[in-house]
Structures are given as structure tokens and as C-alpha cells.
Structure 1
Amino acid sequence: MEQSLDNPAVGVTAARQSVPFAVAAQPGGGLLRAKLAERLFRSATARLPLTVRYPDGRVEGAGRDGSPVMVLHDPRGFFHRLGTARLIGFGESYQAREWDSTQLAELLAVFAAELPRLVPAPLQSLRRAFDLRRPGGAANSLRGARRNIEHHYDLSDELFELFLDETMTYSAALFHQNPLGRPDGGFATLADAQCRKIDRLLDLCGVGLGTRLLEIGSGWGSLALRAAARGAQVTTITLSSNQHDAVRRRADAAGLGDLVDVRLMDYRAVQERYDAVVSVEMIEAVGREHWPTYFRALRRLTAPGGRIGLQAITMPHERMVAAAGSQTWITKYIFPGGIIPSQTAIDSESQAAGLHMLHDFSFGRHYAHTLRLWRDRFSEQREAVAALGFDETFRRTWELYLAYSEAGFAAGYLDVHQMVFATD
């Protein structure tokens, strides 16, 4: 049975079931939109520091030696998808092998840096009228939240093991700074950088011997295990059955099973109070309509005098507002139900819940470096990815996802923060 990339109900899990993750035929119609998309694209790329190569030998763009190169294999297909589905079509065209680049993240970083100016202002005002809306089934209700988490995190533990370091930490690492202020170190130091990030947040929240700690969003247990190793009594919750079982196994193997209570449950169902509550890159999966509930829960679950530690990806507020409710390539194929908050939104929602911020530290460049290491590792493991049952289109989907994310942080379009809040 062949699945379609144009069906929002079909996600990357299709490949895990050995079902062809195939791109649908070009949608009918849309000739005028394709022509407009081509005109806008060529006008934009003519002034961008990149090079576009066409099958007929044409070369366009303002790139020089060393600039990223975009190779269009099928211009007609590319402009058709771009005109019909805009940025979703841009991504789907890559999945469909209609264009390529050997410098994918660098190419996407150029587009990300210029995103607000790529489309003329008069046309930007029409965005809402033409944007695809998110399907109702992607909402993060109690049932929907678990389904959305399973869509991504329950793909295959073996898949994530192929590109994460031995700590199995799937969030921004914190590297040492080199003299130029840029993250330093390669994959061999990634585990150390992940532990540095975790320890920093635990230190800020005062987690130590006897601390009753709640972690919202377990991942594969790296934070819970490091907190337990300090003597904290850890409760960690997740909606991923794969991760629940993995954390349980890892805690027992480390001899920390009596200090780590792993629960398969939603944060809204937790009733106890804790000395500290931490949540690393989980707010992005909460959903904008549930942010008030999320921040009220953080306050409710924190004992008097306790601390709340968040690590959150952020985006500019105006871009967040513009994208709210719209279907994007990321929400269609990678994180259904997700939305990245702005720092403004976090400030507003936390204050409304009665929290006040004690500390804020941003390290977006470090996330770009983390993602580069993951993407390099993922690309090196293409044969192992295929051996797990994931096809070529799935591989291109994830390479684009990792490069897309890396580009956002490299261009400054995205950032990541560690924040600490108090309830008093």
C-alpha cells in the first residue's frame, strides 16, 4: 500500500511499518501559483548569497565560491509544490528528490536569515488566507498529546541510538566556548556537553541529596539518572511507552532504581508537590492553547520555596503569532501538535501563573552545533537506518528536519534558553 506525503494523517511512522513512504504525484492545477512562486523565488535568490543550478545549465543567485548551492533536478515540480503548499511544498519537494544540496544546513540558513523579506509585504498580508490550517486531531488533549508524542518518540529507540551520544540526550548540549565565543568540540565531546547542560540546570534548581524532583518529559532518562546519582528522589513522567521502558531499564542497570520512579502519565494528572520541577524542551509539545494550564501546573506542583527549571526553544514573537494554528512542514511530518513559544509568550504565561523568573541563559549557537553533530552522524548511518526498515524518503525527511533545525539556530531565527522560576 502506498502512502502519500500530501496526506497530513500520514507521518514518518509509516516507514517503520515497512510501508513505502512515497511522495504523491504532483497535485493538479495551480499553474498560476507555480508561475508566481517561480517569479518570487528567482527574484529572492538573485540577491541571496547562494547559487541555484538548473538542469539546462543555468546558474542564478548572488553566491560566490564557497556559498551553498541548490541543485534543482525538477524545476517544474519544485515550483508547483512551492506555489501550491509554500514552505510545506518546499520541504516536500526535497523529500521527493526534486532538489538537493551538499550544504543543506548552510543553504537553509540563508533562507532562514532572509525569511521575513523573501515575500513582498503586500503578499505577506495574504498569508492567513492561503495557509493550511492544522488538523483538529493534532490538538494536545489528554488523548491527543499521547498520540502526538508517540508519533515522534516511539518510532524506534534503535533509530535514535544511531545518531545520539551514549547519554541518549535529545536536546541542546552546552559546549565549552572557544576564544571566538563559538561552541567547540566534536562528537567525542557531545556526551560531556550534554552532562554539562543537565548539571547546570540541576545546580540552578538546587537539586541534591534528598531533593524531591519532578521531571516533566523523561526523554531516555539522562537527567533523571544524573539527579538520582546526586541522591535526589526523582519522579519522571513521559507519554512515550518506549521511553518509559527505556528509563526503567537504565535506572535499574545503574543501580538507581530505588531513586527513580518512572510514570507513564500526563503532567496534568500529577498531584504531588516537589522541591524542584524541571522540564527540558517539552513546552514545545504542549500546544499554545494549553500553555496557561502548563504554567499553572508548574506552580501547583512546586512546594513553597522550590524552584522550576525550564529549557525551552524560542522563536521571535511575531513569527510565533503568524504561524499559530497554521500547518507547517515540521508539524505535518515531525511534531504534530507542536509550537515553539516566544520569550514574550513565556514571560506572559509564567507571570500570569504567579511565577517570577530568577535566571535566564540563552545558548542557541550550541544547539546549532549539537544538531550538526546529530545530522552528520545520521547521514553516516544511512545503511543502518535502512536496516531498521526506514526507506530513502524517510531518511531525506529526517535529514531535512535536522538541517532545517540547525539552520534556524545558526541564523538566529531560533534560540534555546535555560530559565529558572520561583513561586514566591
Structure 2
Amino acid sequence: MTEIDVPTTPAGYWPDVEKVPRAPLRATAAKALLRFVAGRIPVRVVTGDEPQPPGPPPVLRLRRPDAFHRRIGATGLIGLGESYQAGDWETDDLAGLLTAAAAAMSGSLGRYRKLARVRHVPWLQWAHGARPKPDEENTVEGARRNIQRHYDLSNEMFALFLDETMTYSSGLFAGPEDDDLAGAQRRKIDRLLDLTGVGDGTRVLEIGTGWGELSIRAARRGATVHTITISTEQQALARQRVAEAGVADRVTIELRDYRHVEDAQGYDAIVSVEMIEAVGRRYWPSYFGAIDRLLAPGGRAGIQAITLPDERLKFADTYTWVQKYIFPGGVMLSVEEVERQLAGTGLRLADQRAFGWSYAKTLRRWRETFLANADRVRALGFDETFIRTWEYYLAYCEAGFVSGEIDVHQLILDRRG
């Protein structure tokens, strides 16, 4: 492997990546912690051009050890991601390395998970980074800003790694040998439409348009679709795709927050695919309350959600690298928390289907395609730090699903009684 030359990024765009923090004492502690952890998980740590041992386990190669230890010492797990963004370390198997670390935390290092409780001790918040800024709160305006920071990056950039359906959520593969990502995305959508009873004459509300594939498939079943988004870029491309599919007469794409939707008649089906992660804990009652208010008698709602084990929910608000660099304001919830939220509504959880293994495969395909198109990403104006950021993000998420730290569910809601 050769030395990674990371170009200078636009001034101020990645301030915490460009600047190595001063944390000599914490860097020393981080170095000792790395030795402790590396001796207990299947990861090897080498420095510089030190020969790489053959075969597994994955190797973490430190290119700038001092900067790496200072970042880890200053901001813990956030610093681990930032040091990868900056090129302080590299590996031939990023997803494998992160999976090994995540699996070890669930398994052989499980007895140390009690230490996670110190995350809520104020003087140890450094281990997970500063709290999010007030403008990242998911108010109506805050949610719009948060969504723009991710989904409005560039439709062209997303098209370089998504499949032809332009679907940015987990596919549902038929089995381990299935490698048709577009087919997996259509299968996922069709199952959700089947479970919510979408067919000819159905009135559908979609919360979170994406780039329009679900609304197109619902409209082709004869449904009338009202789909809402707060991303101007997604709205523009979704309108184009809906028109090209010949279903514009049955699909209305509106720039509107879910809290502002009104409909006296109610919808026969409400669907929302991986949008609840952007709602925020404070607004979960508003989200489920809106579904309760807008779902017609006899109707069904289908939510696809990335989920946490319920015992980890108390740490869901911990500020993470993903929140800082990828999804500001994003928070996951558990299936049990969905049921607790529904207790205050007229809805119940009628069915649930988990398929985290499919998400791991989806993320792997996205990352492989993204890296294969890295030169085209650069041609759009994105720099090397951006590419390393998204490589880390996609591998980080894949590791979460492979290790079982997170899952994805389709949750079907209907009226009590």
C-alpha cells in the first residue's frame, strides 16, 4: 500500500478533519486503550510501511500515528472516523475491520459494555463528541436544513452509486445468491405495498418521497398517491421520473413537512420508508400522531425503519460520527419504542418483518459502486476527504448490520380493535 495524499479541502468545510487537536495526555491514554482493545478483538495494528501479516484478521495501518492517537484521545469514536477521513490510517478491508470491532463489542468485549454508562457523565462526553448544535434540532425549519445537508448534496452524486430505481434504503434480496439490487429494491417496495393493501383506487400518503420509485409502483397499481418531501433536489428529480413513468396524473409530489399535512377524508394507506430516522426523539409523538390522524378507518400504515435493540435506546441520543458528518439530527428507535409510542394513539403494531442481512448486502453494493465511480464523483466537484467520508460511512453502516448492532424492519400498523 502507498501513502495516501489527502488534498486540502475547501477552507472551513471540514474544520475538525483539517485540524489535528492538541490532546497529548489523552493521546497517550488513547494509545494505551488501542493496545488494550487490539489485544482482545480480531484486528491487527501496524505502523507505516511495516510488513502486513498474511491472511486474516483485518489490518489497521497507521500512517500518521500521532495524529490518529490525538484525534482518538480528543473525541473518541468520532475521532476514529475523522482520522480515517484525514488519511491517518487505512486498511485493505474497511467493512471487515469495523465489523470485527462491532462484533467484539457485542461478544468477547460484552462485559465491558457497562462502561458505556459513563457516556452520560458530563466530563466524559469527549469520548463521543460535542452535543449537536441547536440548529440541528428537528423543528420544521431545522429538519429542512438537516435534510438539505444530506439529500440535497447532488442528485448526480447519488445516481453514481444507487441502482436504476434511485432507491436510497435497504433492498430485500431473495437470498444469499441474489445479486440483483434493482430487483431487491422493487421487491422491498412491493412487499410494503402488499402489506398495506395498496391497489386500484387506494388513496396513499407517502411520508418521504425519495426519488419517486415507491410512488411510481403504487400508481401503476391504480393508486392515487400524495407524496411529501422537504428536499427540493429530490422533489425535482422525482417529478421528472414520475412523468417519464407515465403516472404523473396519479402522483402529487409536494414540498411539505409531515406535521403540516391535512386531509379530512383520510388515506387508505400511509407508507414511510426510512424517514423516521430523521424525525428525532422529541418529535416521535408528532410523527405517529400524524399517521393516526391521517389514516382512514380500516386503513394500514407501513413504516420501514432502521432499528436498535431496545436496551441500547437509552444511548440513542449519544452524538456520533454519523450524526456529525452524515445525518445531522438523525436518531434510531427500537421496535419496542414504536409500540410505546403507539400506546398514545389509536394504532397498534400488527406485523413486523426484519431483514438486516439484506441491508448489509445493499450497503456493500453501494460502497463498491461508489468507489468504482470515485473519479466521476471527483468530476462533480467533491474532494478526496468527501470520498473517504462516504466510504467510511457506508462501511460503518454495513458493519452495524453484519454484527447485529442494528437491524431494519418493515412495521405494519392498523387500528386497534
The reply to whether TM is greater than 0.5 is yes
Partner of 2:212: 221
Partner of 1:360: 352
Which structure 1 segments of 5+ residues have no match? 8-22, 178-182
- Counterparts of 1:320 and 1:100 in 2: how far apart (Å)? 31
Partner of 2:166: 168
Letter in 2 for 1:163: F
How many pairs were matched up?
A: 397
- Counterparts of 1:256 and 1:147 in 2: how far apart (Å)? 30
- Counterparts of 1:353 and 1:6 in 2: how far apart (Å)? 44
Partner of 2:230: 239
Change beyond 3 A, Cα 1:269–1:341: same
How far residue 404 of structure 1 moved from its aligned partner, in angstroms, is 0.4
Helix, strand or coil for the counterpart of 1:171? coil
1:195-239 C-alpha deviation (Å, 9 max, x unpaired): 000000000100000000000000000100000000000000000
- Does residue 1:376 correspond to 2:368, yes or no? yes
Contact residue 316 and residue 333 of structure 2 kept, 8 A: no
Contact residue 306 and residue 422 of structure 1 kept, 8 A: yes
- Does residue 1:97 correspond to 2:87, yes or no? yes
- Counterparts of 2:116 and 2:269 in 1: how far apart (Å)? 44
Contact residue 40 and residue 119 of structure 1 kept, 8 A: no
How far residue 119 of structure 1 moved from its aligned partner, in angstroms, is 9.2
TM-score (norm 1): 0.90
Partner of 2:5: none
- Counterparts of 1:57 and 1:167 in 2: how far apart (Å)? 44
Matches within 5 A, 1:17-416: 23-28=17-22, 30-55=23-48, 57=50, 65-115=55-105, 117=109, 120=112, 123-128=115-120, 129=122, 130-131=124-125, 132-177=130-175, 183-186=176-179, 189-272=180-263, 273-324=266-317, 326-416=318-408
- Counterparts of 1:196 and 1:25 in 2: how far apart (Å)? 45
How far residue 405 of structure 1 moved from its aligned partner, in angstroms, is 0.5
1:154-194 C-alpha deviation (Å, 9 max, x unpaired): 000000100000000010001112xxxxx3333xx111110
- Counterparts of 2:182 and 2:49 in 1: how far apart (Å)? 46
Segment of structure 1 superposing worse, 313-322 or 204-213: 313-322
Change beyond 3 A, Cα 1:256–1:354: same
TM-score (norm 2): 0.92
Contact residue 237 and residue 262 of structure 1 kept, 8 A: yes
Change beyond 3 A, Cα 1:380–1:121: closer
Contact residue 268 and residue 295 of structure 2 kept, 8 A: yes
Question: Kindly, what percent of the aligned residue pairs are identical?
Answer: 50
Contact residue 50 and residue 64 of structure 1 kept, 8 A: no
1:53-99 C-alpha deviation (Å, 9 max, x unpaired): 1127388xxx9723211111111111110010001100000001000
Change beyond 3 A, Cα 1:4–1:39: farther
Letter in 1 for 2:199: G
1:345-381 C-alpha deviation (Å, 9 max, x unpaired): 1121122223111110100000000000000000000
Helix, strand or coil for the counterpart of 2:34? helix
RMSD: 1.7
- Counterparts of 1:4 and 1:217 in 2: how far apart (Å)? 28
